[in-house]
Structure 1
Amino acid sequence: MDEKLTLKQAVAQVMEVQALTDYMKHLPARDMRSDKDKLQTLSELGWLLYAKGEHDAAFQIAKPLAQVAFDGNYNRWTWLEHANVLLALTAPEEEKEAARQHAIHAIEQAVRTGDKDIVEVKKDVHKRFLNGDTLDTDSIQRSIDEGDRAGEAARRLILLKNLCKIELLGGSKAYSAERAAQEAEAQIQAIREIEAELGLFKLSPFA
């Protein structure tokens, strides 16, 4: 896990994974134009496959992406951070602890990077995140109210990522890791129900 990759190298490695070929064919061309587009799309694909229970395929996506270091670009880091959390969740047993430590270090290092004032702001945002203050369930309820099942799945996937990150980092007194894990499992079950109803390729990032 100590090997560093550029974004271009990491994306190229994911694109070459044979087990992902059938999924790649269904990804919209508009979302695969640049390396940044590919990063976002592939990171989302990894999480959808994780929710579906295809942990090995998700790991094949997460591992190369998690080897791209934080460079101060938060537009990229959001998706790279998601890949790091996914890596910790899907790594095979013999790699799991190393993957967990790698992911935790990468996330915490990003929080500590920057000028003193910026770091203090990031620490405050991070604390609020671990307390569950920024978890969004309202958008899920809006999708339910509107009967938008695909939109509901996409928003549940976002919530799943955040809950898994809280669990990985140990949670807080206000929002325990155990609570985050339970809520994450509930999101997985809901996403699987929607996937069974609509079909995988009707969900983001395919649609």
Structure 2
Amino acid sequence: MDRTGLRAVPAEVLAAGNVLALPDGDDSAEVTAVAVENDDFGVPALVIATVAGGRRISIATGSMVYVEPADAEIGVSAVAADHGSPEALVAQIAQAHADSGVVQEIAARLARGINLKAGSNLQDLQQLALTLFIDEGDTAAALTIADLLAELPFDGNFGRWKWIEGGLAIAAYLTRHDEERSARYSAAIRAADDAETDPLRAKTAAMYRQRQLNEPNVYDPEILRASAAGSIDVERDWRILRIGVLLYLRAHGGSETLNREVLERRIAAELAAVASLNAQLAGA
């Protein structure tokens, strides 16, 4: 079929309701369901789109597919977004997570336009990636958003860098079974470590950084207080902050007190704890 006027999107953001150009090139069909299958290492490998009539279309993750533009506004104005733009990616992901109030809230802010030099936009992208990963379990979409941040270089602005750093940490964890790719994210997260050119300041910064790595703030008092008080939502929020710290430590290569193996166990434990808290909140 003629693809003029179709929107190119990553396979990972396909959602039910999209009208997908079929691989035979002669037709299109509405997507009725989407699933992601991992490879033997746990890395998202295939997107399986079921279309009207029951046909299953297998698409490699990272591939671009073509969908027909919607006639009406989708969720957060996907129609207005340029093909393949960050706004379009966010809009498609928001459409796939229509039941998530947090995803919709963040996506609505980003729909106004994404400026990758604006700290507030970078924060929203990092929070969106974290939400997709932790609360929605959508690792493919989380990695797609994290990659928007991971492509940005360190420019000396630490206010912006902390959000980019967060995206790199998420990406490094989600690609942990692909050692070469994960290592690239980890190398990028250390870009700011060598930014200081003055020898004395560089030495002082290195000492301070090592102390932070060895004695990180993982919000133990805050979590204990919230747990003791039965404040499930507050405890959940502190644990998510803890996950962010652990992801950063892991991506940075661990420290003298916390090696990568220990960090991976702690991350898994925190993800399970947050899932349990989410279930309690859902049942409340």
Task: Give the TM-score, by structure 2 length.
Answer: 0.58
> Residue deviations 1:122-174, cap 9 Å, x none?
31232123323433311212222333322222211111122122223332332
Superposition pairs of residues 186-201 of structure 1, within 5 angstroms: 186-199=269-282
Whether contact under 8 Å (2:125, 2:149) holds in the other structure is: no
Structure 2 residue runs of 5 or longer lacking an equivalent are: 1-83
Q: Distance in 2 between matches of 1:157 and 1:14?
A: 25
Where does residue 77 of structure 1 map in the other structure? 161
> Residue deviations 1:171-192, cap 9 Å, x none?
2332222211111111101111
Q: Distance in 1 between matches of 2:120 and 2:105?
A: 15
> Residue deviations 1:62-110, cap 9 Å, x none?
01111111111111111110100111122496xx334322222222220
Higher helix content, 1 or 2:
1
Superposition pairs of residues 89-128 of structure 1, within 5 angstroms: 89-91=173-175, 96-116=178-198, 117-128=200-211
Structure 1 residue runs of 5 or longer lacking an equivalent are: 1-11, 200-207
Whether contact under 8 Å (1:135, 1:162) holds in the other structure is: yes
Higher strand content, 1 or 2:
2
Q: Distance in 2 between matches of 1:79 and 1:153?
A: 20
Task: Give the TM-score, by structure 1 length.
Answer: 0.77
Where does residue 145 of structure 2 map in the other structure? 61
Where does residue 88 of structure 2 map in the other structure? 16
In the alignment, which of 99, 105, 108 is matched to residue 26 of structure 1?
Answer: 105
CA RMSD of aligned residues (A): 2.6
Q: Which has the higher contact order (CA 8 A, sep 6+)?
A: 1
**Which amino acid is 1:79 matched to?**
W
Q: Which has the larger radius of gyration?
A: 2
Instruction: Report the count of equivalent residues.
Output: 186
Do residues 154 (structure 1) and 154 (structure 2) align? no
Label 1:193 to 1:57 Cα distance change in 2 as closer, same or farther (>3 A).
same
In the alignment, which of 253, 257, 260 is matched to residue 170 of structure 1?
Answer: 253
